[in-house]
Amino acid sequence: QKEVEQNSGPLSVPEGAIASLNCTYSDRGSQSFFWYRQYSGKSPELIMSIYSNGDKEDGRFTAQLNKASQYVSLLIRDSQPSDSATYLCAVKGGNQFYFGTGTSLTVIP
């Protein structure tokens, strides 16, 4: 079983819609959770981090964490074509840091 799992997509949403990206993890002791965005040919950039159960909002982005169900999600409101990228979920537990394989998002104008 992979440590961090994401649906590879591609996920397509129309411009202005809400994009929902999901991630599950296997290590129940994981403490820190991160979402990265990676444009094609570029390195990942950190979008959000979340550590506690519940929602964390930053602009158009909302991260949601449910430790009991071992999932973390990212919502992108008012999606823009510039949001088209691969989104990587990362989970830190102890000294280990694991990345999911990423979900490809396409926002259609």
Partner 1 sequence: GAVVSQHPSWVICKSGTSVKIECRSLDFQATTMFWYRQFPKQSLMLMATSNEGSKATYEQGVEKDKFLINHASLTLSTLTVTSAHPEDSSFYICSARSVQANYGYTFGSGTRLTVV
CB of 45 to partner 1, least distance (A): 7
22 binds partner 1 (CB under 8 A): no
Residues 78-107 that bind partner 1 (CB under 8 A): 88, 90, 92, 97, 99-102
10 binds partner 1 (CB under 8 A): no
CB of 11 to partner 1, least distance (A): 15
Output 33 or 64, the one with its CB closest to partner 1: 33
45 binds partner 1 (CB under 8 A): yes
Strand partners, 13: 107
Select from 32, 52, 53, 80 the one that contacts partner 1 (CB under 8 A).
32
HEC per residue, the chain: CCCEEECCCCEEEECCCCEEEEEEECCCCCCEEEEEEECCCCCCEEEEEECCCEEEEECCEEEEEECCCCEEEEEECCCCHHHCEEEEEEEEECCEEEECCCEEEEEEC
21 binds partner 1 (CB under 8 A): no
How far apart are the C-alpha atoms of 73 and 108, rounded to whole Å? 21
Question: By the criterion CB under 8 A, which residues form the site for partner 1?
Answer: 32, 34, 36, 41-46, 49, 88, 90, 92, 97, 99-102
